Chain A
């Protein structure tokens, strides 16, 4: 049985299609512009703007950006921060979430309250900074990885997940006299792949895209993640002179800076752009579980 549409309804549905197409174009055009511009010959881009002629294209921007040591190091650092942060966050939240989902944990209410309060109150930027400083974490990789590793949403998310896990298996293991540790390792963990995956994806993306903690905690440029390197290139306009041969520095810099920016955007966004279509449904899952609380 199909819904019968009046003439007005049909007109509205056509308008609906047009609006959504426009919305998609608004999202896609800027991104496409960046990708095409990054592939252009710098002089052609400056003189003629975007063009789809292959003769106007070159990989010069990519060559420059990929020969920039700061960029490469930033990329490596970002991978390190994102991976280690994800591992830590997932371990902490899955363990806590499982523990909180078990009714035999005494003081559950108190623990939950302790966690939830931190959603609404925080000490603020300065006290947090001073704490990290006093703990001697300033200018170490730990400053980026540890303070943000515990996250109430993740704990609630995994608690909700474990509450939905069928209890029969656990009960059976319990009757067999298996210890809590064995139940967790052998029964619960193998079942928790979906939640581990969702949490890890979120943590990875969040850490990959963030610059703030690194900016305030890390002075040493060799520790900087990709986003801080990008910031100096894209926003502070410091296209590294190392990328440009010394002699023609100024003129060359002017000619190349734009193309280098475009290429830098593409290179830095590539891992997530490639990941995204495959993992879209997991990301959506994360939003949904979170909204159920």
Chain B
């Protein structure tokens, strides 16, 4: 009995050994990705405890004293909070409302172009701005919208007065969102275009024979086809509403437009890396991430309800 057990144990030990000898290479392959993820993704998550500390460079993150939610309270009660929070929310929200439907419209329209060559060429142009860097896009905005730039040249011809686009807070959001659409709408239409291309043409023919006109076919054939994709894109966009990119807003900021252009990510960068208030800045960043995750979960739940189960997860 005991001998049998020992034998079984040895056998299973052999099997394990055998498995490892055969397949250790699979683990070597995944190791770099795992190590990089643990160090550079999970490391900072652990480091985020700095948000709950009174950080002193001499003591280090782990050695610094705990201060609980002090840094969060400081942000929530600071006079900047309302403005920065609302700026972030408004910029993303309006960006989503305006930016979400346009790629869908573009795709529905492109889908009506029957001439393949023409369609390909239009796509080639519409996708191109996606490859222009944010520095160049914002650089072009500054050149085109400067008081002496081409746009103001036209405006002065009509009204006699140049418009100070980049230094007036009321224009910031509009410029930001419209230039985002200019850069990204074409590219964002790709997945819808591809889904529409997979629709069986027979469906359209049959509907046509039954007397359905163009708009009816779009409404009853094309739209239902892309609805699941719309749901996923919308959830991801709405869930990411507070994770709006730092890069473009920061470049577009001028001293004059700060009342609308200061958003949480740029604020985190300034107080953290420019003024060196690490703990406070990390708390602001963490506050933002938490809201983000909550938003993602909420939006996913709502869309799932409205969309008969077509959610993200």
Interface residues of chain A, those whose CB is within 8 Å of chain B, are: 1, 3-6, 8-9, 12-13, 16-17, 19-20, 23-24, 26-28, 30-31, 33-34, 49-50, 91-93, 95-96, 98-100, 102, 104-105, 111, 114-115, 118, 120-131, 146-150, 155, 179-181, 184, 205, 208-212, 216, 227, 230-231, 233-235, 258, 261-262, 265, 268-269, 272-273, 276-277, 280, 283-284, 287-288, 291
B143 at the interface (CB under 8 A from A): yes
Chosen A-B contacts, 9 in total, with CB atoms closer than 8 Å, are A17-B113, A28-B125, A123-B47, A126-B282, A127-B46, A209-B134, A227-B135, A272-B132, A277-B124
Which residue of chain A lies nearest to B110 when distances are taken between CB atoms in the complex?
Answer: A20
A280 and B265 contact, Cβ closer than 8 Å, known pairs A96-B29, A104-B23: no
Q: Please name 18 further chain A to chain B contacts, defined as beta carbons within 8 Å, in addition to the given A23-B186, A95-B32, A104-B26, sorted by A numbering.
A: A4-B208, A6-B213, A20-B109, A24-B122, A104-B23, A105-B23, A114-B37, A123-B47, A124-B285, A126-B281, A128-B47, A130-B278, A212-B246, A227-B133, A234-B138, A273-B128, A280-B123, A280-B127
Interface pair B50/A126, CB less than 8 Å apart: yes
Closest 9 CB pairs of A and B: A123-B44, A234-B139, A127-B47, A124-B285, A96-B33, A209-B133, A180-B25, A127-B44, A150-B36
> How many Å lie between the Cα of A155 and that of B30 in the bound state?
10
Interface pair B208/A3, CB less than 8 Å apart: yes
For residue B26, which residues in chain A have a CB less than 8 angstroms away from its CB? 99, 102, 104-105, 180
> How many Å lie between the Cα of A95 and that of B127 in the bound state?
30
Distance in Å from the Cβ of B219 to the closest Cβ of chain A?
A: 13
Which residue of chain B lies nearest to A5 when distances are taken between CB atoms in the complex?
Answer: B214
Which residue of chain A lies nearest to B216 when distances are taken between CB atoms in the complex?
Answer: A9
> How many Å lie between the Cα of A288 and that of B198 in the bound state?
13
Interface pair B44/A265, CB less than 8 Å apart: no
Interface pair B61/A130, CB less than 8 Å apart: yes
B86 at the interface (CB under 8 A from A): no
Contact string against A for B residues 127-162, beta-carbon threshold 8 Å, 1 for contact and 0 otherwise: 111011111101110111000001001000000000
Which residue of chain A lies nearest to B146 when distances are taken between CB atoms in the complex?
Answer: A258
> How many Å lie between the Cα of A150 and that of B36 in the bound state?
6
Which residue of chain B lies nearest to A1 when distances are taken between CB atoms in the complex?
Answer: B205
Interface pair A125/B285, CB less than 8 Å apart: yes
For residue A268, which residues in chain B have a CB less than 8 angstroms away from its CB? 133, 136
Among A16, A121, A124, A233, the residue within 8 A (CB) of B109 is A16
Q: Quick one: which of A20, A102, A111 has the most chain B CB within 10 A?
A: A20
> How many Å lie between the Cα of A273 and that of B83 in the bound state?
39
B182 at the interface (CB under 8 A from A): yes
Q: Which one, B88-96, B255-263, B266-274, B302-310, is touching chain A?
A: B266-274
Q: Which residues of B (6-49) have their CB < 8 Å from a CB of A?
A: 22-27, 29-30, 32-34, 36-48
Report the count of interface residues on B (CB-CB < 8 A).
84
Q: Which residues of B (152-178) have their CB < 8 Å from a CB of A?
A: 153
B76 at the interface (CB under 8 A from A): no
Interface pair B124/A130, CB less than 8 Å apart: no
Which residue of chain B lies nearest to A120 when distances are taken between CB atoms in the complex?
Answer: B293
For residue A17, which residues in chain B have a CB less than 8 angstroms away from its CB? 113
Interface of B is mostly: helix
A149 and B36 contact, Cβ closer than 8 Å, known pairs A96-B30, A104-B23, A258-B143: yes
Which residue of chain A lies nearest to B252 when distances are taken between CB atoms in the complex?
Answer: A235
> How many Å lie between the Cα of A284 and that of B150 in the bound state?
34
Interface pair A130/B50, CB less than 8 Å apart: yes
B231 at the interface (CB under 8 A from A): no
Interface residues of chain B, those whose CB is within 8 Å of chain A, are: 22-27, 29-30, 32-34, 36-48, 50, 61, 106, 109-110, 112-113, 122-129, 131-136, 138-140, 142-144, 150, 153, 182, 186-187, 190-191, 194, 204-205, 208, 213-215, 229, 232, 246-247, 251, 265, 268-269, 272-273, 278, 281-282, 285-286, 288-289, 293, 296
> How many Å lie between the Cα of A130 and that of B8 in the bound state?
51
Among B32, B125, B208, B269, the residue within 8 A (CB) of A125 is B269
Among A12, A13, A211, A284, the residue within 8 A (CB) of B134 is A211
> How many Å lie between the Cα of A120 and that of B312 in the bound state?
13
Interface pair A126/B285, CB less than 8 Å apart: yes
> How many Å lie between the Cα of A115 and that of B122 in the bound state?
37
For residue A283, which residues in chain B have a CB less than 8 angstroms away from its CB? 127
For residue A13, which residues in chain B have a CB less than 8 angstroms away from its CB? 112, 214
Interface pair A180/B22, CB less than 8 Å apart: yes
Interface pair B134/A146, CB less than 8 Å apart: no
Distance in Å from the Cβ of B253 to the closest Cβ of chain A?
A: 10
For residue B106, which residues in chain A have a CB less than 8 angstroms away from its CB? 20, 23
For residue A272, which residues in chain B have a CB less than 8 angstroms away from its CB? 131-132
Interface pair A27/B30, CB less than 8 Å apart: no
> How many Å lie between the Cα of A179 and that of B61 in the bound state?
45
For residue A93, which residues in chain B have a CB less than 8 angstroms away from its CB? 33
> How many Å lie between the Cα of A102 and that of B23 in the bound state?
10
> How many Å lie between the Cα of A38 and that of B251 in the bound state?
22
> How many Å lie between the Cα of A20 and that of B126 in the bound state?
9
> How many Å lie between the Cα of A188 and that of B43 in the bound state?
33
Interface pair A291/B135, CB less than 8 Å apart: no
Distance in Å from the Cβ of B33 to the closest Cβ of chain A?
A: 4
A211 and B136 contact, Cβ closer than 8 Å, known pairs A3-B204, A184-B29: no
A231 and B135 contact, Cβ closer than 8 Å, known pairs A20-B109, A98-B29: yes
Among A120, A124, A230, A287, the residue within 8 A (CB) of B44 is A124
A125 and B272 contact, Cβ closer than 8 Å, known pairs A212-B247, A276-B131, A284-B190: yes
> How many Å lie between the Cα of A268 and that of B182 in the bound state?
19
